[in-house]
Amino acid sequence: MSFPDIPNITPLISVTTGQTIPLLLSSIALEELALAHIMNAEAEKLQFVLGTLDNTGVTFSPAEVSLGNLLDVNTSAQRTLRDVIKKEMLLEFKFENVLDLIGASCSPTSATFTNPQSIIINGDTEGPASPYPSPINVSGLNGTIAKVTATLNNMSHTFPGDLDILLVGPQGQNVMLMSDAGGLFDIVGVTLTFDDDAATPVPTPIPSPFVSNTFQPTNIGAGDVLPGPAPGPPYGSVLSVFDGTNPNGTWNLFVFDDAGADSGTIAGGWSLTITTTCP
Ligand SMILES: [Ca+2]
Ligand SMILES: [Ca+2]
Ligand SMILES: [Ca+2]
């Protein structure tokens, strides 16, 4: 037995479980709206025979409407409303199933995304690193952000205090991870993680020799303005600026060297670890 393809969606789309939930809720809302129109039409039918519907230009005089006529109309309205009530019960079942789907589709998740492409910091003259920005595309996460940490992998620079490093989320929030911090000693092949819950900000100067470590986002001084396409100031100071937002989309890391002489690389690119929570 064959069955027609309904709906005919061209071009083909693909949606995640999470994306279907608002569509299902919208479909329930549209059906409720249709039922409201039907009930309104029944009410207007009653108004019409009673002569109280004044926008039609047509009214019955009371003598034309018998008690039998009124009872017939009443019966008709009653039958229609009975069908509406049946449909409302089905919609309630549908709504309860969607609520179950929300519970099943969303569990707190922690995931790490990496762009391994090296970021070259040609800091002999002031200017942006390459690439600028370095993107990470995040997809497939349910819920909203509960926590974000960012890691710069295998980073070297002969004067880390030259750096202004800005992270911009897919919804436009941003945080300055490290700016004018770290001082003058070389860092070689270190991995820096930024976490609001770290014990300390980036020390100035970073002690030498330096080992990989986790720091709070650290912005020394004021007045940084990164060149476009980075957003302009003001810049966020904590990673919790992303909390409660949708994690999916393109995250961008803007690395800028704000002083001549001294260069570096972030040879292993960078990573984001995102923890989400159910709405
Ligand atoms: Ca420099
Ligand atoms: Ca600064
Ligand atoms: Ca700066």
Of 218, 246, 250, 217, the C-alpha closest to 113 is: 250
Report how far ligand 1's centroid is from the alpha carbon of 167 (Å).
Answer: 20
Q: Are residues 67 and 191 in the same domain?
A: no
**Is 177 part of a structural domain of the chain?**
yes
Cis before residue 131, ω within 30 degrees of 0?
Answer: yes
The Cα–Cα gap between 97 and 24 comes to: 10
Kindly compute the dihedral angle of the four CA atoms of residues 22, 27, 28, 31, in this order, to the nearest 10 degrees: 160
Ligand of minimum distance to the alpha carbon of 227: 3
Q: Which domain holds residue 265?
A: 109-277
Q: Are residues 136 and 250 in the same domain?
A: yes
Report how far ligand 2's centroid is from the alpha carbon of 219 (Å).
Answer: 5
In sequence order, the β-bridge partners of residue 138 are 249
- CATH number of the domain bearing residue 212: 2.60.120.260
Strands 174-179 and 163-168: antiparallel
Q: Are residues 128 and 100 in the same domain?
A: no
Alpha-helical runs (H) found in the chain: 17-50, 67-105
Of 120, 169, 180, the C-alpha closest to 144 is: 169
- Return averaged pLDDT per consecutive 10 residues of the chain, 279 residues in all: 64 75 89 93 86 68 75 92 95 92 74 96 86 95 92 94 96 96 88 96 80 91 93 96 96 94 92 89
Put simply, whether the predicted model's pTM sits higher than 0.75 gets the answer no
Report how far ligand 1's centroid is from the alpha carbon of 180 (Å).
Answer: 11
- Residue at which a domain ends, from 45, 76, 105: 105
Q: Are residues 114 and 81 in the same domain?
A: no
